[in-house]
């Protein structure tokens, strides 16, 4: 054992036999598999089959991430068995892995699965659970396995088998259901008590739209009921917060089939929300000594040859177009434009660092199947910036970027994140010494900022190391957001230079960075994080005026004009409707303040303020209300 305890075993002793001697009963009941070196094996594995005289066994607890993976993948087998038991041999099985938070299994079946089917499948699964059916592993020759699955008509398994290298494969049997699988699995079905089928979706075999469309049944499984319950609650909460649903209800954005998938159309309120973010972003960058650039959406195809995008990035780019017999290309990135601005004049070390930012709209190809609301789109606006500096300035620049980055995220309520430092991959450009220096600079900056981070070995881009920041929303979900990348490649390709102190030409370091990532995606995350209930400074509409009767209409009109002039984002609802009805509509629109106007307010020149929570504030003057809004915005923006 890793703790040092050791025992000798002989004959046909299995891992389970060893654990029975080495672990307490309680520990043993929670151990679902063991790690031997880098691999996980079943408890039923014979010790002598592991082929070592001394074997260190690392118990994998069912509640751990590895344990839950095994549990969920086993539940996928359990579900496939139930589906075949219920719907017979006409159903064909494809693959069924564990995924984050659960598992799925792909089936070929003519009739679509319905929610009623879910109940029958779950009931059938529970039957097997009660039967304590063992998962048995068998190693057979590949030919034998192919024959077996051919006989069952399971052509997907046969296709997979034909591509597997090696002569033997392992099969797992649960009752009469046999699956091609590497394992490991739980010892028997009684481990699989806590599960739930979640949804069904179409999925092409191997993700290729030329292949057969399959039905993907998603489910989840946990080691205890409480964890499942919490997960299902979170899922419900996430559904309520779906930015596509809220985006429609709140009139923020739309996507039109006539315009094209993955292309976002901002409606007035969404456009206002976006402008508020853009204005804040620009001001914050100005305060941090950045200069703003604007660049076009197309450039000559040759530019993208020089940049290397045509060689390394073409699958994400759209076809080129001819203008006066010269080929042009829609931009997938902003970097070459900023380099062109850099190269428009001779640069000296004295100018450094140059910090240039742009809200640059780029276009990248994504398959239709992966497009998703604001989160995966084909045209989006990066909050991009490029910093040109000397090597000795790199660490400080990274520190400054991190500072600005975390400031901006905090303003939007994000103060939980995971930070990754990605180092040199196998294929790379630039010298090893440069990589080392740059990686050290990134690491030093993180340390100086007092930030916890994880190293992602070999996950850097081919042109330089990078820092990625994943933010956590209120539901604890992670979103890839900021990225800071050092680049040795583009300055080389474009022969970017500056005159150093020594009067000679040197190559500057180029940093690419995006803090929010893209405005589309970031706003999608914001909508879900706030559940559409934006703080006052971000609310497209901060207050809505509503009269009790027509008698106050003129007064309402006056204060509407006054508030608008003083910069409050205001709306009016002067319809001849019951007040309660107007209030309910304002609440659904998630407007922070309702100004309720009756005779008393009109006579005294005041407004009665109702918060969206339902709380009423004492009557105040229109001026005081405008001041209150201004104060709240200032406080939020620090
Ligand atoms: Zn399996
Ligand atoms: Zn760039």
pLDDT tier at 368 (50, 70, 90 boundaries)? confident
pLDDT tier at 525 (50, 70, 90 boundaries)? very high
How many angstroms separate the CA atoms of 532 and 269, rounded? 12
Which of the given ranges, 187-201, 431-445, 474-488, has the highest pLDDT on average?
A: 187-201
How many angstroms separate the CA atoms of 495 and 486, rounded? 16
Mean pLDDT of 548-574: 96
To 10 degrees, the CA torsion angle through 239, 241, 245, 251? 170
Q: Over the Cα atoms of the chain, what is R_g?
A: 30
Burial of 556 (0-12, 13-18, 19+ CB in 10 A): buried
Lowest mean pLDDT among 110-119, 361-370, 421-430, 478-487: 421-430
pLDDT of residue 199 exceeding 80: yes
DSSP readout, 457-524?
TT-SBTTB-EEEEEEE-TT--EEEEEEEEEESHHHHHTT--EE-TTSSEEPPEEEEEEEEEEHHHHHH
pLDDT at 341: 98
The set of residues, in sequence order, having a beta carbon less than 8 Å from that of 607 and lying 6+ positions away, is 545, 559, 595, 596, 597, 601, 619, 620, 621, 622, 625
185 is catalytic: no
Of 364, 358, 360, nearest to 381 by C-alpha is: 360
Residue ranges near ligand 1 (ion) with Cβ within 5 Å: 181
The one catalytic residue in 382, 485, 542, 552 is: 382
Q: In whole numbers, what is the pLDDT of the chain averaged over residues?
A: 94
Other C-beta atoms within 10 Å of 398: how many? Answer: 26
The one catalytic residue in 124, 216, 285, 466 is: 466
335 is catalytic: yes
pLDDT at 74: 98
How many angstroms separate the CA atoms of 372 and 520, rounded? 11
Please, what is the Cα angle at 571 between 568 and 573, to 5 degrees? Answer: 150
pLDDT at 312: 84
364 is catalytic: yes
- Whole-number Å distance, alpha carbon 147 to ligand 1 midpoint, is 19
CA-CA-CA-CA torsion sign (318, 319, 322, 328): positive
Please, what is the Cα angle at 601 between 599 and 605, to 5 degrees? Answer: 125
Please, what is the Cα angle at 122 between 120 and 126, to 5 degrees? Answer: 115
Mean pLDDT of 160-182: 94
The one catalytic residue in 384, 468, 473, 573 is: 384
How many angstroms separate the CA atoms of 537 and 331, rounded? 33
Q: Are 299 and 328 in contact (CB under 8 A)?
A: yes
For 481-511, write each residue's pLDDT tens digit: 999 999 988 999 999 999 999 999 999 999 9
pLDDT tier at 301 (50, 70, 90 boundaries)? very high
Kind of pairing between the strands at 417-422 and 466-472: antiparallel
How many angstroms separate the CA atoms of 532 and 526, rounded? 8
For 586-598, write each residue's pLDDT tens digit: 999 999 999 999 9
pLDDT at 6: 86
The one catalytic residue in 77, 309, 347, 364 is: 364
Q: Are 513 and 387 in contact (CB under 8 A)?
A: yes
pLDDT at 364: 96
Residues facing 610 on adjacent strands: 594, 616
- Whole-number Å distance, alpha carbon 526 to ligand 2 midpoint, is 24
pLDDT of residue 134 exceeding 90: yes
309 is catalytic: no
pTM across the whole model: 0.81
């Amino acid at each position: 054992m890793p703790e040092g305890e050791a025992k000798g075993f002989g004959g046909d002793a299995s891992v389970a036999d060893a654990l029975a001697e080495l672990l307490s009963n309680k520990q043993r009941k929670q151990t679902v598999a063991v790690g031997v070196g880098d691999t996980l094996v079943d408890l039923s594995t014979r010790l002598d089959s592991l082929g070592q005289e001394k074997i260190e066994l690392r118990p994998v607890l069912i509640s751990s991430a590895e344990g839950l993976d095994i549990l969920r993948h086993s539940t996928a087998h359990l579900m496939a068995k139930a589906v075949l038991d219920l719907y017979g041999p006409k159903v064909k099985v494809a693959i069924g892995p564990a995924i984050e938070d659960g598992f799925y299994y792909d089936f070929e079946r003519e009739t679509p699965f319905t929610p009623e089917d879910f109940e029958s499948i779950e009931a059938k699964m529970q039957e097997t659970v009660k039967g304590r059916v063992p998962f048995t592993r068998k190693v057979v020759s590949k030919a034998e396995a192919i024959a077996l699955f051919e006989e069952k008509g399971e052509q997907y398994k046969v296709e997979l088998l034909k591509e597997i290298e090696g002569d033997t494969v392992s099969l797992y049997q649960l009752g009469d259901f046999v699956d091609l699988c590497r394992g490991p699995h739980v010892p028997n079905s009684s481990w699989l008590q806590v599960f739930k089928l979640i949804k069904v979706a179409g999925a092409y075999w191997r993700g290729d739209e030329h292949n057969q469309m399959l039905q993907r049944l998603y489910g989840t499984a946990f080691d205890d009921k409480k964890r499942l319950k919490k997960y299902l609650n979170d899922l419900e909460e996430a559904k309520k917060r779906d930015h596509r649903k809220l985006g429609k209800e709140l009139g923020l954005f739309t996507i039109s089939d006539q315009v094209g998938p993955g292309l976002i159309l901002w409606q007035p309120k969404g456009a206002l929300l976006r402008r508020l973010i853009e204005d804040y972003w620009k001001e914050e960058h100005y305060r941090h000594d950045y200069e703003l650039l604007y660049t076009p959406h197309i450039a000559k195809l040759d530019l993208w040859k020089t940049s290397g995008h045509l060689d390394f990035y073409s699958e994400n780019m759209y076809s080129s177009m001819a203008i006066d017999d010269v080929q042009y290309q829609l931009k997938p990135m902003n970097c070459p434009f900023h380099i062109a601005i850099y190269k428009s004049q001779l640069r000296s070390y004295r100018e450094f660092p140059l910090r240039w930012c742009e809200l640059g709209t780029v276009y990248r190809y994504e398959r239709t199947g992966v497009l998703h609301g604001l989160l995966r789109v084909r045209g989006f606006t990066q909050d991009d910036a490029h910093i040109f500096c000397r090597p000795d300035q790199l660490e400080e620049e990274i520190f400054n970027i991190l500072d600005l980055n975390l400031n901006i995220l905090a303003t939007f309520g994000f103060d939980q994140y995971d930070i990754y430092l990605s180092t040199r991959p196998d294929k790379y450009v630039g010298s090893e010494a440069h990589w080392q220096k740059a990686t050290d600079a990134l690491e030093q900056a993180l340390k100086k900022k007092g930030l916890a981070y994880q190293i992602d070995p070999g996950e850097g881009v081919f042109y330089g190391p990078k820092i990625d920041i994943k933010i956590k929303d209120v539901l604890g979900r992670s979103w890839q957001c900021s990225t800071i990348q050092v680049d040795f490649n583009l300055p080389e390709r474009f022969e970017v230079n500056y005159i150093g102190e020594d009067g000679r030409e040197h190559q500057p370091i180029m940093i690419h960075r995006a803090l929010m990532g893209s405005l589309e995606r970031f706003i999608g995350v914001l909508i879900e994080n706030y559940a559409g209930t934006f703080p006052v400074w971000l609310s497209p509409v901060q207050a809505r005026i509503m009269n009790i009767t027509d008698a106050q209409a003129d007064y309402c009109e006056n204060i509407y004009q006054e508030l608008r002039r003083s910069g409050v984002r205001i709306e009016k609802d002067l319809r001849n409707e019951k007040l309660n009805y107007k209030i309910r509509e304002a609440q659904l629109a998630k407007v922070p303040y309702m100004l309720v106007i009756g005779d008393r307010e009109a006579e005294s020149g005041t407004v009665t303020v109702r918060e969206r929570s339902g709380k009423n504030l004492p009557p105040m003057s229109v001026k005081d209300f405008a001041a209150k809004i201004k104060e709240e915005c200032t406080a939020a923006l620090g």
